[in-house]
Structure 1
Amino acid sequence: MIEFRRFDHIGAREIHGTVQDVYARAYAEAIATRDPFESLEASMNRFDAYLRAPGFDLVVLYLDGEPTGQAWGWPLGKDTAGWDGLQLDEDDPEFTRENGTRTFGLSEIMVVPEHTGRGYAGALHDELLGARQEQRATLLVDPRNEHAYERYRRWGWYKVGVQRPDWEGAPIFDVLLLPLL
């Protein structure tokens, strides 16, 4: 049986261990590289920082009662640092203008390896974004991650620029956008 459970920042703190467990299983290969940016500790430190974002939204996928995947994000606020370092493909001075209701920042979608390839990532994507009221969503994707990149394109995302976030050891990501309304 498939079940989605939605959590705000308070609920996400309460299930922190579940989030960490799913993360560790979903990203075991990346964690095993010993790249400091990919470490479980660094990833969970970022997660903890995300919980401070107003409007934080987490959806956890349960299969037969077992947490198997998750997706989270938050609306970009007026004074967001979410666009820091952004280099747009086209010059648009209004692109980064935020008011807390314009753009939802999708941070993560993950499914544990034994359940990938069954459409669960797409279901998480749709469950998380389907309830959003923002005009658009954005996400960062490593351009070398061809599998994820192709999936995002199939779901309607398109590239608008590149960005290196202000996280220690962060690579340069492609910035993708998806209209929501």
Structure 2
Amino acid sequence: MRETDQEVGYVRFEHVAPDEIWAEVTSLFVLCFAAHPYNESADELQSIVQWGPEKLASPGGRLVVTRHDGQLVGFALSQRLDQDSSWLQRLNGMPPMLDLDILPSRTLVVQELAVNKNFRGRGIAKQCIRELLSNRAEQDAVLGVFGQATQVREMYRHWGFSELGTSPIYGGTVTLHALHHKLPWTA
């Protein structure tokens, strides 16, 4: 374990998290995804404060947050696939690249993963995913990565995720790569 990892604490929330946590998650979410390579609208990103708790409250909902010296520096959020109609449509519309039989009620969607840029490269993202995917009843996990986030996609591939396919989003201006991993995740 790296020295920095020992200075970082991880907390899991199952189905509900305090409003203060969501305020911090929202700030980090905007900080990470309004920046390059995502360049998403900061105003639209603020909406995680509404939809994040809804995803957490649903089956498969888990939120992992990590702190360093009291500051939230990373988080990961999940929900079961059968609870997310947009993900179901997206996956059903992709030509299959892998021979998988994914059951929505047994598949977890990693909805979000974010780490403060000053703390990247220290194993925090990997530990957030480890915490998010550990001790799960589901048998598969899926997640999406924007096409322009090539380093992030390579990180997931290095962790053993395989590409399921691609889907245009935001009116075709962005390509979303759907990735898959069997559970349990042991990387």
TM-score, length-normalised on structure 2?
A: 0.77
Residue 147 of structure 1 aligns to a residue whose secondary structure is helix
The CA deviation at 1:120 is: 1.0
The one-letter code sitting in structure 1 at the alignment partner of 2:95 is L
Would the aligned equivalents of 2:63 and 2:78 in 1 still touch at CA under 8 Å? yes
The Cα RMSD (Å) is: 3.0
Would the aligned equivalents of 2:12 and 2:62 in 1 still touch at CA under 8 Å? yes
Whole-Å Cα distance in 2 between the matches of residues 153 and 38 of structure 1? 31
Q: Structure 1's 80 and 107: CA in aligned 2 closer, same or farther, altered over 3 A?
A: closer
- Note the alpha carbon deviations across 1:88-136, whole angstroms, 9 max, x for none: 33486x73532x2x11101111111111111111111111112322111
Q: Structure 1's 112 and 36: CA in aligned 2 closer, same or farther, altered over 3 A?
A: closer
Partner of 2:89: 84
Would the aligned equivalents of 2:141 and 2:181 in 1 still touch at CA under 8 Å? yes
Q: Structure 1's 54 and 68: CA in aligned 2 closer, same or farther, altered over 3 A?
A: same
Whole-Å Cα distance in 2 between the matches of residues 12 and 50 of structure 1? 14
Partner of 1:135: 139
1:64 aligns with one of 63, 69, 81: 69
Partner of 1:11: 17
Partner of 2:58: 53
Would the aligned equivalents of 1:31 and 1:38 in 2 still touch at CA under 8 Å? no
Q: Structure 1's 91 and 17: CA in aligned 2 closer, same or farther, altered over 3 A?
A: closer
Residue 173 of structure 1 aligns to a residue whose secondary structure is strand
Q: How many residues align?
A: 175
2:120 aligns with one of 101, 113, 116: 116
* Structure 1: 5+ residue stretches without partners: none
The CA deviation at 1:52 is: 4.8
Q: Structure 1's 143 and 32: CA in aligned 2 closer, same or farther, altered over 3 A?
A: closer
Whole-Å Cα distance in 2 between the matches of residues 30 and 45 of structure 1? 24
Consecutive aligned runs of 4 or more in structure 1 exceeding 6 Å deviation: 167-170
Whole-Å Cα distance in 1 between the matches of residues 37 and 24 of structure 2? 17
Q: Structure 1's 97 and 37: CA in aligned 2 closer, same or farther, altered over 3 A?
A: farther
* Structure 2: 5+ residue stretches without partners: 1-6
Partner of 1:75: 80
1:24 aligns with one of 27, 30, 34: 30
Q: Structure 1's 68 and 36: CA in aligned 2 closer, same or farther, altered over 3 A?
A: closer
More helix by share: 2
Q: Structure 1's 12 and 50: CA in aligned 2 closer, same or farther, altered over 3 A?
A: farther
Would the aligned equivalents of 1:53 and 1:74 in 2 still touch at CA under 8 Å? yes
The CA deviation at 1:15 is: 2.1
Q: Structure 1's 50 and 171: CA in aligned 2 closer, same or farther, altered over 3 A?
A: farther
Q: Structure 1's 152 and 91: CA in aligned 2 closer, same or farther, altered over 3 A?
A: closer
> More deviation in 153-162 or 81-90?
81-90
Identity in percent: 27
